[in-house]
Amino acid sequence: MPTIEVSRKVLERLAGRKITGDMLDRVKGEIEEEKDDKIKLEIGDTNRPDLWSVEGVARVYREKGVPKLKARKSGKNIIVDKNMEEIRPYIAGFIAKNVNITEELLLDLIQLQEKIAENFGRKREKISIGIYNYADAKFPLHYKAVEPLGIKFAPLEFDEEMTLDAILEKHPKGRQYGHIVKKHKLYPIFMDSTDQVLSFPPVINSNRLGRVTKGASDIFIEATGSDIKPTILAVNIIALALQDRGASIETIEVRYPYATPLGRKVATPLSFGEKMAFPQSLAKERLGLDLSASEIISLLKSMQYDAAKKAGNITVTIPYYRRDVMHPFDVMEDVAVAYGYDNMQPLEVRSFTHGGFSQFTLLSKRARRCMIGLGFQEIMSPILSNNTALQNKMLSAERAIEIENYMSETYSAVRNSVMPSLLNLLGKNLHVEYPHKVFEFGECASLDREPKSEAKLAAAMADTSVGYEDISSAVDALLGMLGVKYELRPSKNKSFIEGRQAEIIVGKKAVGITGEVHPQVLQNWGIDTPVVAFEIDADAMSP
């Protein structure tokens, strides 16, 4: 969930009212931290980039209906190269004039740019955004594809000119975002009509033409991306935010040499003018609210929709800075939010249903009760483990399911047995009064032809004088109480001492093992008393 930092002063000035914590339901927001004037605000909706700025939050408390974006035509163009269709096909942009770029506004703008590109733009893969000084660039601008070694410029924070390949290798942003362009033979470049580089989207801006400093008054903004509507959406959101801060917005027309869903000439910002029919009956059916059409329309306007009644239906205009409204239920939720969840009378679910436990839970309850009766302390362990614990320390060759993108080696495999969890615990409690008697009824997964999830019960006893009979008695008592007929058959499991171990056989199938743990295994776990243990498949204990 995006967290933004806003100034309370600016927020309340833009909203035209005081904002208290309980009003933040409207933006699904929560104050994480407030210090002096700064509020850290978490916005719950990961699909509403329009709310990820102080301007966007303030708008919700200020506007009724869709706020107007008063964009003039600038007559300026961005010309797209035909090779871009296969690389990063879409670009959109606008000019913002008479902005008084203060330090504070610049930080707010950069924050919005980053939140959109990182969260909504999927770490720039789908959308990236650049901000430039209007005065520095000569229009028309060109968005084109170049050879990685065919051009040189100095990226932000670097004085030295580098090839695009060098930037991907040396610049921190190049290393971070380079993978997005590396799969292509040609790389995107954004330059002005005098062939001066403005930026290398989506990686980095030029150090010379790609920076805005405070005091600037006219700037322009560009977004590139893989889908046209989200790319324009990003531009719409930023344009409206800057207008809210007093800027005059002018459109830039993008000229494509290929067809796009919106044509070959697309002036941005652009209102998609999307409308949706909202059946009035939904309020009653799905929200349990008796609302008239005019009440619904008034609630919708307070959530910045335009809405009008038309033949039993309400027609809703979706704001041009939102792409999250894909179904009338999305509109319906906004009606509920505007109405206030607090103002809704809760209803009880009256339908009668039979409750009950799964077979797993029923068995687990019985088996655990038996183990507790036998004097064992139940333990609970992570299911994530590693090959050192599951194989090396156990002297086992059985492969476990491994995790490809593990975060720490400690949790890089899924346990295929509960025994290592028990031995791990015993090894950490040498100073704790003996005897130790522990068990766990837990989930595991094994690598069959397909991954297979299963549950196992394992128990261990550690003390200077424990021996095979102690654990075979426990097995006998457990299976006796559960009514499971079993036999013991000498086995050769490397984790146990030969001649002091047996397979537990139920219905001719080996379903578990019991015996004295091998001294080498004990040593591997740092245990210095004898340990006897058993492990049995949960399935085998079912009636």
Interacting residues with other proteins between 160 and 199 (CB under 8 A): none
- Who contacts 526 (Cβ-Cβ below 8 Å, separation ≥6)? 427, 428, 430
Interacting residues with other proteins between 223 and 242 (CB under 8 A): 227
Site string for other proteins, 378-397 (x = CB under 8 A): xxxxxxx-------------
- Who contacts 418 (Cβ-Cβ below 8 Å, separation ≥6)? 381, 440, 441, 442, 444, 456, 457, 458, 535
Q: Is 206 exposed, middle or buried (0-12, 13-18, 19+ CB in 10 A)?
A: buried
Q: Which is nearer to other proteins, 247 or 371 (CB)?
A: 371
Q: Check binding of 114 to other proteins (CB under 8 A).
A: no
The interface region with other proteins, picked from 33-41, 143-151, 239-247, 286-294 by CB under 8 A, is 286-294
User: Nearest approach, Cβ of 267 to other proteins (angstroms)?
Assistant: 22
The interface region with other proteins, picked from 127-135, 214-222, 306-314, 360-368 by CB under 8 A, is 360-368
Q: For other proteins, which residue of 69, 109, 241, 414 counts as binding (CB under 8 A)?
A: 414
Q: How far apart are CA 197 and CA 291, in angstroms?
A: 57
Q: For other proteins, which residue of 3, 7, 40, 45 counts as binding (CB under 8 A)?
A: 45
The interface region with other proteins, picked from 20-28, 53-61, 134-142, 463-471 by CB under 8 A, is 20-28
Interacting residues with other proteins between 75 and 94 (CB under 8 A): none
Q: Which is nearer to other proteins, 16 or 21 (CB)?
A: 21
Q: For other proteins, which residue of 3, 47, 280, 529 counts as binding (CB under 8 A)?
A: 47
User: Nearest approach, Cβ of 21 to other proteins (angstroms)?
Assistant: 9
Q: Is 311 exposed, middle or buried (0-12, 13-18, 19+ CB in 10 A)?
A: exposed
Rg (CA), the chain: 33
User: Nearest approach, Cβ of 76 to other proteins (angstroms)?
Assistant: 30
Q: Which is nearer to other proteins, 205 or 386 (CB)?
A: 386
Q: Check binding of 473 to other proteins (CB under 8 A).
A: no
Q: Which is nearer to other proteins, 146 or 287 (CB)?
A: 287
User: Nearest approach, Cβ of 28 to other proteins (angstroms)?
Assistant: 5
- Token pair for 126: 């789908």
Q: Which is nearer to other proteins, 249 or 422 (CB)?
A: 422
Q: How far is CA 385 from CA 392, 417, 439, 444, in A?
A: 12, 10, 17, 10
Report the 3 state secondary structure along 249-265. Answer: EEEEEEECCCCCCCCCE
User: Nearest approach, Cβ of 400 to other proteins (angstroms)?
Assistant: 10
Q: Check binding of 31 to other proteins (CB under 8 A).
A: no
Q: Is 180 exposed, middle or buried (0-12, 13-18, 19+ CB in 10 A)?
A: buried
User: Nearest approach, Cβ of 382 to other proteins (angstroms)?
Assistant: 4
User: Nearest approach, Cβ of 263 to other proteins (angstroms)?
Assistant: 18
- Type of residue found at 178: G
| Orientation angle between helical segments 328-339 and 293-302, nearest 10 degrees | 80
Q: Check binding of 315 to other proteins (CB under 8 A).
A: no
Q: Check binding of 294 to other proteins (CB under 8 A).
A: no
The interface region with other proteins, picked from 21-29, 101-109, 174-182, 185-193 by CB under 8 A, is 21-29
Q: Which is nearer to other proteins, 72 or 452 (CB)?
A: 452
Q: How far is CA 218 from CA 56, 94, 408, 426, 475, in A?
A: 21, 11, 48, 69, 81
Q: For residue 428, how far is the Cα from the chain centroid?
A: 36
Other CB atoms closer than 10 Å to residue 214's CB: what's the count?
12
Q: Which is nearer to other proteins, 351 or 464 (CB)?
A: 351
How many residues touch other proteins under the rule CB under 8 A: the total is 87
Q: For other proteins, which residue of 169, 285, 398, 487 counts as binding (CB under 8 A)?
A: 285
Q: Check binding of 262 to other proteins (CB under 8 A).
A: no
Report the 3 state secondary structure along 161-221. Answer: CEEHHHHHHHCHHHHHHCHHHHCCCCEEEEECCCCCEEEECCCEEECCCCCCCCCCCCEEE
- Token pair for 324: 């999250």
The interface region with other proteins, picked from 190-198, 214-222, 427-435, 495-503 by CB under 8 A, is 427-435
Q: Check binding of 357 to other proteins (CB under 8 A).
A: yes
Q: How far apart are CA 97 and CA 74, in angstroms?
A: 11
Instruction: Count CA atoms closer than 13 A to 328's CA, side-chain side.
Output: 16
Q: Check binding of 60 to other proteins (CB under 8 A).
A: no
Q: How far apart are CA 423 and CA 34, in angstroms?
A: 47
Interacting residues with other proteins between 316 and 355 (CB under 8 A): 326-330, 332-333, 336-337, 341-342, 344-349, 351-355
Q: Which is nearer to other proteins, 149 or 344 (CB)?
A: 344
Token pair 């005065």: residue: 135
Q: How far is CA 539 from CA 352, 447, 471, in A?
A: 32, 17, 20
Q: For other proteins, which residue of 436, 456, 500, 518 counts as binding (CB under 8 A)?
A: 436
